[in-house]
Structure 1
Amino acid sequence: MNDRAPPLRLWAGEALEIPKLLLSPLQRAVPIAAGHGQPVIVYPGYLTSDVSSIRLRRSLNAAGYAAYGWQIGKNSGARADLLDRLVPQLEELSQRHQQGATLIGWSLGGVFAREVAKQRPDLVRLVITLGSPFSGDPRANNAWRLYELLNDHRVDSPPIATDLAAKPPVRTLAVHSPIDGIVAQAAARGLAEESDRQVELTGRHLSLARSPAGIRLIGRLLAEELG
């Protein structure tokens, strides 16, 4: 496994995606295959909130899914009480819809989605991570220095007792990109035993959860896995 962070040229390219990410809540839904009311919870990336997933959730809702944000504000990193805040939402939505939910996590949000699924696998049908650094060296990305600057713990010592690379006991998909400028592709793909399916999408890190290509891939994966 290549545990090195993406090269500077890829990292610099992510800057081109920032305006597109900021404008994405204003953009129309991307047509995807129809759902049938299945609940989906989308977890945002580091230093973003549910605003970052508006276009994805708009697309899912327009297709017939019941999509929700994580509803706890900005993703500021791991907290000791984070799972205590996320698991009740999963329980409430699963009860409301009378079925398990799909968890979609972008970047660090995908790491948390995997951990929620480990806590309540009976309430999760599927986990999809998008460029999430769950495998290998936790410093195989270009965000770890900022993370440690803004948090009271190191990236390799989160305040949650867990093995981040261990696969949740539910169907788990890992989407990774060869041109991701923030998270190393190997860290987001993981080893074969760390997820059930690894899917490559050529897109920058900041586009994975909001670009038409990313949203269409998510729609296809949901149709294939939940159909």
Structure 2
Amino acid sequence: MALFTLAPVLALAPRGDGHSVLVLPGFATNDHSTGLLRMFLAQRGYDARSWDLGWNLDHKTVGEQGEIIVRRIAALWKESGRKVSLVGWSLGGVIAREAARRMPGKVRNVITLGSPFAGDPSANAIRGLYEYLSGNIIDSPATRERFANGRQTLPMPSTAVFSRTDGIAAWQNCIGEENAISENIEVVSSHFGLVVNPAVLHLVADRLAQPENAWRRFVRPRALAFLYPERHSEG
């Protein structure tokens, strides 16, 4: 209902410059879950792409070192001749950040939506399901190391979108260190609502519209301030 009520808000979102945006789905979901987000981005002028890897089962899907998703990004970069932006929901954002670290020359911007890339990896509501389907053990040294490094800033602009009402991932694990090109922005949403929430859609379009070499931190539009909690949105 909120999506239709706030449709005029989405019409005010900045238009893009046509560069490729790869959208990565969350754990145990596939490209169908991000369909509305990709459709919106395409309408705003982006070359919005699905990841085309089926169900997201973490390393079972993207490769032990993420090599499969790295090849996907490299192919988009070669096809367009331009850096690729990454938008990842939940586990998709964790994978996006890891891939971006491996290929900084090919990634323009990283946006994560409720992605627990930092802190305690066991602080989520689906630990058992994750271990069963992915084959990864949360308390293993490899997993602990993976998430211990996750909070560190990326070499390209990044935006971590989080919600205190997420319900699946602990919001404290969905934020990272901030600097001149890294920011954390709070929205009010459930975990599964992050890919259809009007505030999130507008925010993603705004962040992707930042010029490649003149990125600026998010400032709540005065007319849309009601969509974003004041804390953690501009600091």
Q: Per the shorter chain, which TM-score range?
A: 0.7 to 0.9
Cα deviation for residue 159 of structure 1 reads 7.3
Q: Which residue of 2 aligns with 1:56?
A: 37
Between the two proteins, what is the percent identity of the paired residues? Answer: 36
Kept after mapping to 2: 8 A contact 1:178/1:202:
yes
- Secondary structure in 2 aligned to 1:179? coil
Q: What is the CA–CA distance in structure 2 between the aligned matches of 1:82 and 1:69, rounded to whole Å? A: 20
- Secondary structure in 2 aligned to 1:208? helix
Q: What is the CA–CA distance in structure 1 between the aligned matches of 2:175 and 2:150, rounded to whole Å? A: 13
Q: What is the CA–CA distance in structure 1 between the aligned matches of 2:52 and 2:75, rounded to whole Å? A: 13
Kept after mapping to 2: 8 A contact 1:107/1:130:
yes
- Secondary structure in 1 aligned to 2:22? strand
1:73 equivalenced with 2:54 (yes/no):
yes
Q: Which residue of 2 aligns with 1:109?
A: 92
Kept after mapping to 2: 8 A contact 1:41/1:104:
yes
Kept after mapping to 2: 8 A contact 1:102/1:126:
yes
* Unaligned ranges ≥5, structure 2: 2-9, 216-235
Q: Which residue of 1 aligns with 2:222?
A: none
1:69-218 alignment, distance < 5 Å: 69-79=50-60, 80-81=63-64, 83-157=66-140, 162=146, 163-192=149-178, 196-218=182-204
- Secondary structure in 2 aligned to 1:67? strand
* Unaligned ranges ≥5, structure 1: 1-19, 21-29
Q: TM-score, normalised by structure 2?
A: 0.77
- Secondary structure in 1 aligned to 2:167? coil
- Secondary structure in 1 aligned to 2:66? helix
Cα RMSD between the aligned structures? 2.4
Structure 1 pair 111/225, CA: closer, same or farther in 2 (3 Å)?
farther
Structure 1 pair 110/94, CA: closer, same or farther in 2 (3 Å)?
same
Structure showing greater relative contact order (alpha-carbon pairs closer than 8 Å, 6 or more residues apart): 1
Task: Spell out, residue by residue over 1:109-161, the C-alpha distance to the aligned partner (whole angstroms, 9 max, x if none).
Answer: 00000011011110001000100001110011111121112232212435797
Q: TM-score, normalised by structure 1?
A: 0.80
Q: What is the CA–CA distance in structure 2 between the aligned matches of 1:75 and 1:176, rounded to whole Å? A: 20
1:7-86 alignment, distance < 5 Å: 31=11, 32-79=13-60, 80-81=63-64, 83-86=66-69
Task: Spell out, residue by residue over 1:189-213, the C-alpha distance to the aligned partner (whole angstroms, 9 max, x if none).
Answer: 23446x8101111111101112222
Structure 1 pair 185/169, CA: closer, same or farther in 2 (3 Å)?
same
Cα deviation for residue 89 of structure 1 reads 1.2
Kept after mapping to 1: 8 A contact 2:138/2:144:
no
Q: Which residue of 2 aligns with 1:23?
A: none
- Structure 1 runs of 4+ off > 6 angstroms? none
Structure 1 pair 224/75, CA: closer, same or farther in 2 (3 Å)?
same
What is the total number of aligned residue pairs between the two structures? 199
- Secondary structure in 2 aligned to 1:118? helix
Q: What is the CA–CA distance in structure 2 between the aligned matches of 1:83 and 1:221, rounded to whole Å? A: 25
Cα deviation for residue 180 of structure 1 reads 0.7
